Amino acid sequence: MADETLPEKIVKTETEWQSCLTPEQFRIARQAGTERAFTGPYWDEKRDGLYSCVACGAPLFRSEAKFDSGTGWPSFFAPVSADAISSHEDVSHGMRRVEIRCARCESHLGHVFPDGPRPTGLRFCMNGTALALATDAGEDGQ
């Protein structure tokens, strides 16, 4: 019997990803880019809702886990589930960090740091451009 908690993988060519993402979404989600602090969507977002992967729509974070880290990026202390994301060592830019990707499509979301609030002590520092927010009032459209 298959494990129903594991997300179904989505595999597309880079050309296919380019056709369904804006150039900035493609740069961040598919090329591991980073938006400048305080410039992307959701860093100061206060509405309740569910944050999903902009590339494949997989649910990633709930607004209840969002907090103001003061960094200029949307920050969360926990994903919706452990299998919603995957972690990868990132040694780019002369640093050792833990990159976070969408487990379903492997899109780059951001990084996780061990300086977050309780209950986890983690800060999932995400690129808002890699996320889409669905609120009770309807889809955000970003």
Instruction: Name the residues annotated as catalytic.
Output: 125
Distances (CA, A) of 26 to 45, 94, 95, 132: 22, 24, 23, 14
Q: Could you give the 3-state DSSP secondary structure of residue 129?
A: helix
Rounded to the nearest 5 percent, the helix, strand and coil shares of the chain are 20, 30, 50
